[in-house]
Structure 1
């Protein structure tokens, strides 16, 4: 099984080396690493070139884009793997066996998607866990409680994207939630929960870096719920936000 991992970058030099290293040093051998750069003007491209000289499985495009979801869509279109996943430039895979464990889960469970747990960590000191997002096996009723898997931990068969489409660029922050609703509400797909930390995410991302971002995220979540036909979207948004509170205390 070939696994395509996509990273979107823009002036990401401060964190990119750790991100790339976590992908390039995996125990799993059949990885295609796609980096979509938004025409960075810092040292990002130099770091990518240095890695590309050493690792031949890196493919890179650098050009202006319309934001992170546009970049991820470009990566999906370029990917040739059987399985697709994302590692954002501020994030990194939790250990060297993550992709091997995910690939084995696809094979053993014969599923369309695999997801796991996520740690939010301090931007400056990644040993400090700020928030612990522990997921659970999927049941359809969870969507009405505002549940979703941590999107950076979600790996899907390429066929899912071919059937369900890409990220909707009408969303600036919540296109991942819209996409999750689109595929998890479908009865055509099966998912496996892998109970281990897949991704370490530095705090301060686009959806949680300010009060304004949180408000905009809430509005977009409501829109995604409504357009995807879930009942009582305001109640679901409230449940979604309240469900995150325990994550701050489970370290």
Structure 2
């Protein structure tokens, strides 16, 4: 691997005229130059195409036609991506600061030297005014356990950089999933173990609260299907807690607002994962005695 690996940024968009320019600018303004931007539009009618055309000098490849959702769009983009490392964004996401790539590159170089296929940082959940509600992203030990053992979404995909070998070895996103195709891919890659590098303290991306994953019941049900597909245990105590939370989400959202609900969601996931981890450590200690 060279000292300046190519980073591919893949953006899926549909009628995202309100936010797409910010997303494009956050990529083009990166001080790290060895990068490319690929945009797949789902056939927008709101002015998105005009924004893309006005930024063609910043875009390596783009296309616009109806598709089958975000994971179908990302799969199409992978066919045009040349990067050693790939990150995936929605049109309302944006890289947090101009030095994100510069700061993540040393960790990518270290990861490839170790055969590690993922490097990630934190994601800031923000309001429309870009006020931070909370930060997603924790150590790989907790993140892996949340994904594989506990069956909860204890990660934010927008903060992750995937080595291209992931898609060569494990395939692309399963387009039958509309919300958790990223979660299902991570199960495939890491269910037998494997390491990832967490860059603590580095905010990679800003992500607006709301969007497709705000449909909590559908989210939890799709996660269950992803686990069944990969022959992982579905009914766990953390998963049951997540399901109960999903049922309560619309009421709580109405009462206290999405910003504070999101904070509670993150606090709850962190607490459940931590308690599950501590329980496992205690059990392993007993078994070793």
TM-score range, shorter chain: 0.7 to 0.9
What corresponds to 2:24 in structure 1? 20
Structure having the larger proportion of residues in helix: 2
1:10 aligns with 2:10: no
Instruction: Report the CA distance between 1:41 and its aligned residue.
Output: 1.1
Task: Answer with 1 or 2: which has the greater Rg.
Answer: 2
Instruction: Report the CA distance between 1:106 and its aligned residue.
Output: 1.0
Quickly say closer, same or farther: Cα 1:233–1:176, change in 2 above 3 A. Answer: farther
The question of whether the paired residues in 2 share the 8 Å contact of 1:222 and 1:234 is answered with no
TM-score of the aligned structures, taking structure 2 as reference length: 0.77
How large is the RMSD of aligned CA atoms in angstroms? 2.3
Instruction: Report the CA distance between 1:239 and its aligned residue.
Output: 5.4
Greater RCO, 1 or 2 (C-alpha within 8 Å, sep 6+): 1
The question of whether the paired residues in 1 share the 8 Å contact of 2:134 and 2:263 is answered with no
State the alpha-carbon separation in 1 of the partners of residues 48 and 265 from structure 2: 36
1:48 aligns with 2:55: no
TM-score of the aligned structures, taking structure 1 as reference length: 0.88
What corresponds to 2:274 in structure 1? none
Quickly say closer, same or farther: Cα 1:214–1:26, change in 2 above 3 A. Answer: same
Q: 3-state DSSP class of the match of 1:13? A: coil
Q: 3-state DSSP class of the match of 2:178? A: coil
Cα deviation code 1:90-130 (max 9, x no counterpart): 1101111112222221102332110111111112x01x112
What corresponds to 2:63 in structure 1? 61
State the alpha-carbon separation in 1 of the partners of residues 31 and 92 from structure 2: 21
The alignment covers a number of residue pairs equal to: 241
Quickly say closer, same or farther: Cα 1:233–1:152, change in 2 above 3 A. Answer: farther
1:247 aligns with 2:252: no
Q: 3-state DSSP class of the match of 1:119? A: strand
State the alpha-carbon separation in 2 of the partners of residues 232 and 87 from structure 1: 28
**Runs ≥4 residues deviating over 6 A:** 241-244
State the alpha-carbon separation in 1 of the partners of residues 241 and 105 from structure 2: 32
The question of whether the paired residues in 1 share the 8 Å contact of 2:111 and 2:119 is answered with no
The question of whether the paired residues in 2 share the 8 Å contact of 1:225 and 1:233 is answered with no
The question of whether the paired residues in 2 share the 8 Å contact of 1:135 and 1:150 is answered with no
List alignment gaps of at least 5 residues for structure 1.
Answer: none
